């Protein structure tokens, strides 16, 4: 589980954490009903790959404002691979970091064509070979497009809440994922990550967590002092 912070108690045993996670899932489902598996708008795998690249350091809402015009112009993987740099940069500029994102989109599309026969790959190992796609974003794509639950997307919200809920004390996203995989039901990993992200945005804020409004407060060892744990 990695080295824990000296001022925190030992983690509960795995069985206890599993029981807590099961209860959390029931509460989360009531508060954050699962509709589509991502807040990003897309209709096919390449659109999800592109939207995910655009979402780096940008809100999903802003990405969804940009992608209608983007996807109207570029329909296929070949379209993105052969995109004019200036035109693509202009379309995605509102998402920020548009120079790098343009390079990543074009490179990832070319990678799909050259390495995977023009089909967006489904495995973590293959997805992370694409430019601009890391393990977290690969897990996001896999769950959103195919409903795969073999991984857990660990962003800043999932990492923060995992530590506050004492499901993991790790700071490294890969190690947090491994800790969560041990205690999360195999058929609920994607939705657990998705709902934890929503809860992090709505209630368990990094600076001012609303513990008094949290429906999981009785399951959270940090309730009342969560702002001390980042």
- Furthest-apart CA atoms within the chain: distance in Å: 55
Q: 128-162 burial by CB neighbour count: b if 16+ within 10 A, else e?
A: ebbebbebbbbbbbbbbbeebbebbbbbebbbbbb
Q: Which of 41, 126, 155, 205 is catalytic?
A: 155
Q: Does 148 qualify as catalytic in the annotation? A: no
Q: Does 103 qualify as catalytic in the annotation? A: no
DSSP 18-34: HHHHHHHHHHHHHHS--
Phi then psi dihedrals of residue 194, to 5 deg: -60, -45
Measured distance between the N- and C-terminal CA atoms of the chain, rounded to whole angstroms: 17
Residue 93 CA to residue 106 CA, distance in Å, equals 15
Three-state SS sequence of 125-181: HHHCCCCCCCHHHHHHHHHHHHCCCCCCCCCHHHHHHHHHCCCCCCCCHHHHHHHHH
Contact 38, 54 (CB under 8 A): no
Residues with Cβ < 8 Å from 35, sequence gap 6 or more? none
Q: Which of 136, 142, 148, 179 is catalytic?
A: 136
Active site residues: 136, 155
């Amino acid at each position: 589980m990695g080295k824990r912070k000296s001022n925190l108690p030992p983690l509960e045993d795995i069985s206890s954490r599993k029981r807590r996670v099961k209860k959390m899932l029931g509460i989360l489902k009531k508060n954050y009903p699962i509709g589509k598996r991502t807040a990003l708008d897309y209709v096919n795998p390449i659109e999800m790959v592109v939207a995910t690249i655009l979402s780096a350091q940008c809100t999903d809402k802003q990405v969804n404002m940009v992608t209608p015009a983007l996807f109207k112009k570029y329909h296929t993987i070949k379209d993105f691979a052969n995109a004019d740099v200036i035109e693509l940069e202009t379309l995605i500029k509102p998402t920020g970091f548009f120079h790098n994102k343009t390079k990543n989109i074009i490179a990832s599309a070319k990678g799909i064509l050259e390495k995977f026969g023009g089909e967006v790959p489904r495995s973590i190992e293959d997805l992370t070979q694409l430019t601009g796609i890391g393990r977290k974003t690969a897990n996001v794509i896999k769950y959103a497009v195919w409903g795969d639950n073999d991984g857990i997307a660990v962003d800043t919200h999932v990492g923060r809440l995992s530590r506050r809920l004492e499901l993991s004390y790790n700071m490294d996203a890969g190690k947090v994922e491994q800790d969560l995989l041990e205690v999360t039901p195999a058929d609920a990993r994607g939705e657990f990550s998705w709902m934890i992200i929503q809860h992090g945005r709505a209630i368990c804020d990094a600076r001012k967590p609303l513990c008094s409004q949290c429906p999981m407060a009785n399951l959270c060892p940090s309730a009342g002092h969560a702002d001390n744990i980042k």
